[in-house]
Amino acid sequence: MLFFHFRQTKEMSTAIATCSQGDGNAAATRDVNSLAAMHFDDIHLSRTRYESLIESENLKQKREFRDWILATYEEYFLQAEENATLDKKMKKKVFG
């Protein structure tokens, strides 16, 4: 985004200087307005792109976290089942 700022500042300064050197005619004003519209579109497209990338990354991270939680939950309960089975076997062996 900083790249856009420097480039656009330079372009706009040049356009305004050119407009100021002339008689301030309507064509020069339209050129400055067109340049401003182009700059707005550039920033808008860039911002939209980055917002999309961030949203995509957030969704990916949520999915990865969900998968990790499910795997951890499953592992915990499988281990608990194994421990319960071992406890039953040990009790049966000792008291049995």
For residue 13, the enclosing domain spans 2-95
Tell me the per-residue pLDDT of 46-87, one tens digit each, with 9 for 90 and over. 999 999 999 999 999 999 999 999 999 999 988 888 888 877
What whole-number distance in Å separates Cα of residue 59 and Cα of residue 65? 10
- pLDDT tops 80 at residue 21: no
Token digits of residue 58: 């957030």
Instruction: Show Cβ contacts of residue 69 under 8 Å, excluding neighbours closer than 6 positions.
Output: none
- Closest alpha carbon to 46 in 10, 2, 13: 2
Which pLDDT score, from 0 to 100, does residue 30 have? 80
Q: What's the domain count of the chain? A: 1
Percent of the chain topping pLDDT 70: 90
Instruction: Show Cβ contacts of residue 66 under 8 Å, excluding neighbours closer than 6 positions.
Output: none
